Amino acid sequence: MRRAVILPLIVSCLAFAARVMLLTRESLWRDEVDSVRFALEPAETLLSRLTAMGFNGPLYFLLLRGWFALVGVNDFTLRYFSALAGVALVALSYALGRRLFGRAAGVAAQWITASSPLLVWYAGEGRMYALQLALLALAMYALLRAIGPWQARRAAWWATFVVATSLSFYVHVLSPLVLVVALVAFVALWRTARVEWRRALVALALLTLPYLPLAAWQAPALLAGGGTLLPAFPLDAIASTVLRNWMLGLDAGAPLFFVPSPAARRIAQALVLGALLSAIAVWFLQVLRRSTHRRFALVLAAWAVLPTALLSVISSLRAPLFLPRYVLWSSTPFYVLLGAACAHLQWRVALLALCTVAHFCGLAAQVVNPIRPELRGAVAHVLREAQPGEPVVLQIGYLRHAFAYYAAQHGASPLPVRLVEAPYANESSLEAVGAQLEAQLAGASSAWLFESESQMWDRQGHTRRWFETRWVLREQRLFHGVSLMRFARRAAQPTHP
């Protein structure tokens, strides 16, 4: 084995270990349970959803169905599918950095990608994001190989670009934004790309055909605007959230070890982000003075910035469409740029050490502070303690799928309890909510209230307030993100003449 391969292979192995060692530490949350539900639907239903309006990621669920047929269905196998895509992305980041800026930049980019707390998290998430990242990184790498100054196998790279991009369209609804980045790349590399203009037109035509079924419902939905139920974010909040997630992960408490107070922690985060962004800016300005890597740096900068900018524009003009995970695929060029800065600047060792410490603090924060609600433990407790047929009131009602999934994992099928969906209470009075609950619980002498993410459906807490005023609390258990309460109905008060 060549010495040049050993270090990238070690980094890939470390990336694999980081992504699989804690896969089942937290229970699935409702979107991950949806992944299992949709993947196990009849094959005809899955195929019909490839063109169904408003359905995101149909190809991911179809692939997941085949994966489950091979390895079975549980928390680990669901997330392991994403972990494999996450490790592939680490290898692709090395290939990108090495091809564009040299071997040292490739290894640095690979290490930064491997240790990224955000990418470790989503490589352990049973959703389509890790697969989308890998497909779009492969698509952009193939495009750069096809239009860059390298002469070998251009037709094969064009084919890879078309296939990876087309697949990404059906893995996530916002993947077509990569076409804007591809256009910028073609213009930026025009000196070498112009000889490929015929193949570029063929590739565009081939990409149009698989996208037409999606465009048939996406274009009218975008033109209509509204109805996304997503919050609106100003541009400064979008930028700060994206950058903080990319460098420090999902936990707001990172860096974790050095600064205990929240105010000092925010200052430390700002200093870390400022230092790393300054390093990228200094290296970028140096590169702009030289012609060797300038065009590649511009392409990666566009790839890192344009998707977020486009989503913010669409959100402000048509409908809110921004969530940080929707631009997760733009983190790849950011890490490659940071890796190039770490490899080529004079203070490379200190810069890479700072990046590593920031990532490790983010990883530690995500481990120490759980993020997903502990549905697995809460369901297990109810199954142990509940009486046969006892009502379990779910707020939010959508939790019925997660409850049924974990009950089946415990061998409790059919369900030994009766699931009751609490009413949507954000636009209702306490009296209206109480009347509906009274009808749903008629004849029951006891009931459980199972709350998680209840602010979505019951901002004012009407469901809990009704129980607390009409019933007697017998037991309460708190799990992370889940509140369990068992109530007994109050005895009717005797009336006196």
494: in domain: no
| 397 & 463 share domain | yes
| 99 & 149 share domain | yes
Q: What values do phi and psi take at 391, rounded to 5?
A: -70, 140
In the block, residue with structure tokens 């800026």: 101
For position 268, what pLDDT does the model report? 84
495: in domain: no
Cα 231 versus chain centre, distance? 17
> Is 90 exceeded by the pLDDT of residue 49?
no
Q: How confident is the model at residue 230 (pLDDT cuts 50, 70, 90)?
A: low
Quote the mean pLDDT of the chain: 90
Identify whether the C-beta of residue 155 lies closer than 8 Å to the C-beta of residue 307. Answer: no
Q: Give the up-direction half-sphere exposure of residue 205: CA atoms within 13 A in the CB hemisphere.
A: 6
Q: Show which of 368, 396, 429 is a domain's final residue.
A: 368
> Is 80 exceeded by the pLDDT of residue 231?
no
Q: How confident is the model at residue 137 (pLDDT cuts 50, 70, 90)?
A: very high
For position 228, what pLDDT does the model report? 57
CA 102 – CA 89 distance, rounded (Å): 18
What domain range is 434 assigned to?
Answer: 375-489
CA nearest neighbour of 180 among 204, 156, 212, 213: 204
> Is 90 exceeded by the pLDDT of residue 9?
yes
81: in domain: yes
Identify whether the C-beta of residue 467 lies closer than 8 Å to the C-beta of residue 434. Answer: no
Q: How confident is the model at residue 4 (pLDDT cuts 50, 70, 90)?
A: confident
Q: How confident is the model at residue 496 (pLDDT cuts 50, 70, 90)?
A: very low
For position 460, what pLDDT does the model report? 94
| 225 & 266 share domain | yes
| 328 & 473 share domain | no
| 340 & 474 share domain | no
Q: Show which of 321, 338, 368 is a domain's final residue.
A: 368
Q: How confident is the model at residue 135 (pLDDT cuts 50, 70, 90)?
A: very high
| 337 & 453 share domain | no
207: in domain: yes
496: in domain: no
241 vs 391, higher pLDDT: 391
Which CA distances in Å does 51 have to 114, 141, 169?
Answer: 35, 28, 11
345: in domain: yes
| 149 & 199 share domain | yes
For position 216, what pLDDT does the model report? 74
| Proportion of the chain above pLDDT 90, given as a percent | 70
Q: In sequence order, what are the residues at sequence separation of 6 or more whose Cβ sits closer than 8 angstroms to the Cβ of residue 142?
A: 157, 158, 160, 161, 164
| 203 & 238 share domain | yes
| 217 & 350 share domain | yes
Q: What is the pLDDT of residues 378-405, one digit of tens each?
A: 999 999 999 999 999 999 999 999 999 9
Q: What is the pLDDT of residues 79-125, one digit of tens each?
A: 999 999 999 999 999 999 999 999 999 999 999 999 999 999 999 99
Q: What is the pLDDT of residues 426-455, one digit of tens each?
A: 989 999 999 999 999 999 999 999 999 999
| 81 & 136 share domain | yes
The reported pTM is 0.93
Tally of domains in the chain: 2
> Is 70 exceeded by the pLDDT of residue 1?
no
In the block, residue with structure tokens 């566009």: 302
Q: Show which of 368, 395, 418 is a domain's final residue.
A: 368
For position 495, what pLDDT does the model report? 45
CA 314 – CA 70 distance, rounded (Å): 41
| 347 & 208 share domain | yes
250: in domain: yes
> Is 80 exceeded by the pLDDT of residue 235?
no
CA 411 – CA 263 distance, rounded (Å): 47
Q: What is the pLDDT of residues 165-191, one digit of tens each?
A: 999 999 998 999 999 999 999 999 999
For position 259, what pLDDT does the model report? 65
Query: Which residue type sits at 104?
Result: A
Residues 419-453: b if buried by 16+ CB within 10 A, e if exposed: bbebbebeebeeeebbebbeebbeebebbbbbbbb
| 149 & 285 share domain | yes
